[in-house]
Amino acid sequence: MMLFSEVRGLPVVPPAGAGPIGTVTSLTVDIASGAVSHVRLRGSRPGRTSVLSWDSVLAAGPGAVRVRSAAAPDTVPPHHDLLGRRVLTEAGTARGTVLDVAFDPETGRVLAVFTTRGEVPCHRLLGLGDYALVVRAG
């Protein structure tokens, strides 16, 4: 298990031992599959940002995120950062703010969302948009 807050700021490196290609700024989650779909990173040049598909990740660990290649994916989904996002039930009841997200660093599968009002299991996630993370009440 790894936390989004632990990944943010890690160097992204290719497997051949070359220098870092950037630094992780955030992870994009596909709520429908319940998994990380993309890694967003800041490049070595100022103002340059990139997106990599989670499929290109070989390993995510405490020291770095290792990737197969730095090639950008063909399509990039909209990005809504989970950290700091408001949490609402499907009925619109406020359920706090996202503090962190636990995920499996091998598969990218989201395990739990930690909020200011407690833990939300991944099976309760319904949607994520510009305004909030929507969860099943319960």
**Is pLDDT at 118 greater than 90 in this prediction?**
yes
| pLDDT, average across residues 73-90 | 88
Residue 44's domain comprises: 2-67
Query: How far, in Å, CA of 83 to CA of 97, rounded?
Result: 8
pTM, 2 dp: 0.90
What's the pLDDT score for residue 138?
75
Residues 15, 57, single domain; the answer is: yes
- Cβ neighbours of residue 46 closer than 8 Å, sequence gap 6 or more: none
CB 31 within 8 A of CB 128: yes
Beta bridge partners of 109: 35
CATH number, residue 102: 2.30.30.240
Whether residue 107 is found in the same domain as residue 54: no
Return the pLDDT at 46: 63
Residue entry with tokens 């909020």: 115
- When divided into structural domains, the chain yields a total of 2
Task: Render pLDDT for 11-64 as a digit per residue (tens, 0 to 9).
Answer: 999 877 677 889 999 999 999 999 999 999 997 666 677 899 999 999 999 899
pLDDT at 14: 86
Are residue 7 and residue 63 in the same domain, yes or no?
Answer: yes
Asked if residue 53 and residue 95 are part of one domain, the reply reads no
Q: Are residues 26 and 63 in the same domain?
A: yes
Q: Are residues 50 and 95 in the same domain?
A: no
